[in-house]
Amino acid sequence: MLPVAEAEALILQAVQPLGTEWVELGSAQDRVLGQTLCSPQDFPAQPTSSMDGYALRYEDVQQGIPCELQVIETIPAGKAPTTEVQTGQAVRLYTGSVLPAGADTVVMQEYTQRPSETKVRILKDPQQGEFVRPQGSFARQGDPILEAGQRLRGAELAVLAAIRQAVVPVFRQPRVAILSTGDELVPIQQGPGPGQIVDSNQYGLAALVRAAGGIPVKLGIVPDQPQVLRERMQQALGAADGVISSGGVSVGDFDYVEKLLEELGGKIFIRSVAIKPGKPLTVARFSNPHGPDQLYFGLPGNPASALVTFWRFLRPALLKMGGSLPPYLEVISATSPKDLHADGKREHYLWGKLRLKPDQIQFQPADSHHSGNLINLAGCDALAVLPPGTTQIPAGSPVQVLRLL
């Protein structure tokens, strides 16, 4: 069995980002930027006011406060100044208004009075340059403004709109084929008979693929028949950038996945990992002459095992395939109100929920951690990590927790 960290490193070494494509800005939400973009201009493009008030020459208020100045123009936001401010003059402007030539300071309107239509009285001594946004103070033309690998959410889309990036270079989303293997599985539309179970992995894994930025290609249930399974595995490899199958990777009489991977030309580089749940994890590489190698992930069939191994190994791999930058996992320190137990033989993952307390982050473990118990995984947003050799972490002691994003 490979240690967890070594298995993770081998998987990430085998993964390369896919190529880029161009999409319209309106379709770029949650995509990953494919190249660094630079500012096409200064932001702000001209010096502007950050307050409603009056623009003036700072030297005019050095003669003493209060002082009166002549108001020579009003400049609404979106209009260009038509005059230059001379000694003893001021202009009325608003938040976002362009500062006229000659002016270098803005006084808030709350610190002024208007004795007449053409006069303003300044009541407070400002700082030089106060409430002025200098040209280029947010970004200079040519400055990197968004970095390749950034995920595009609301703020990033607003920036792209501001620089008039109507089409955006983004990394291609990995297409991931998903197979569920086993004679005991039935589709959701069919009531299970004795010894049968509904295929839940297909839906759970597809959702996790989407959450990691991929495109799931659900290929359904495959029976434990080597020839049928071989054909469906071959179909999956031809339809996607990577493949996930669940079941068929242990040492039972009907576990055919590893043998078929080798027959199909795959190079298996992980066969089992020292993790609980999820030990029977198989990962193979298929050479692709037209792009990055394809990876095939054979996950255990038990639902909790399949989901835990996805969170720990496949999510980082898909994030890297989709162009995201590391880190691919978020591990934080928390405490548990209950003792946490493990057998100490493997790196043990216990699912539960995070709670934010006034002075700490608390991990509330689920009531049981059986690899076949899918029910109590609902609502869980974290995995407590108990290292090999650890059989107990007492209540209140620090524990490393993997957040499930």
pLDDT tens track for 50-64 = 999 999 999 999 988
Q: 10 Å Cβ neighbour count for 86?
A: 12
Question: Residue 290: pLDDT band by 50, 70, 90 thresholds?
Answer: confident
Cα–Cα distance for residue pair 37/40, rounded to 1 Å = 9
- Determine the 3-state secondary structure of 302 from DSSP: coil
Encoded tokens for 273: 């990992």
Encoded tokens for 173: 């989303």
Q: What is the pLDDT of residues 350-371, one digit of tens each?
A: 999 999 988 899 999 999 898 8
The angle at the Cα of 100, spanning 96 to 106, to the nearest 5 degrees, equals 60
Cα–Cα distance for residue pair 29/154, rounded to 1 Å = 8
Q: What is the pLDDT of residues 343-353, one digit of tens each?
A: 999 999 999 99
Encoded tokens for 127: 């700082």
Cα–Cα distance for residue pair 204/376, rounded to 1 Å = 14
Q: 10 Å Cβ neighbour count for 207?
A: 12
pLDDT on residue 253: 60
pLDDT above 80: residue 112: yes
Q: 278: alpha, beta or left, given left = phi > 0 and alpha = psi -120 to 50?
A: left
pLDDT, average across residues 237-251: 89
Q: Write b or e for each residue in 185-198: b if 16 or more Cβ atoms lie within 10 A of its Cβ, otherwise e.
A: bbeeeeeeeeeeee
* CA nearest neighbour of 278 among 269, 270, 286: 270
Q: What Rg, from alpha-carbon coordinates, does the chain have? A: 31
Average pLDDT, the chain: 95
pLDDT on residue 255: 78
Q: Could you give all domains of the chain from N- to C-terminal order, each with its CATH number? A: 4-19+172-321 (3.40.980.10), 23-40+145-171 (3.90.105.10), 48-133 (2.170.190.11), 331-403 (2.40.340.10)
Q: Answer yes or no: are the C-beta atoms of 309 and 281 closer than 8 Å.
A: yes
- Determine the 3-state secondary structure of 318 from DSSP: helix
pLDDT, average across residues 8-29: 96
pLDDT on residue 254: 57
Q: Counting beta carbons within 10 angstroms of the beta carbon of residue 99, is it exposed (0 to 12), middle (13 to 18) or buried (19 or more)? A: buried
Q: Which residues pair with 363 in a beta bridge?
A: 354
Question: Residue 291: pLDDT band by 50, 70, 90 thresholds?
Answer: confident
Q: What is the pLDDT of residues 190-215, one digit of tens each?
A: 999 999 999 999 999 999 999 999 99
pLDDT, average across residues 249-254: 64
Which H or E run includes 331? strand 331-335
pLDDT above 90: residue 373: no
CA torsion sign for 311, 317, 319, 324 is positive
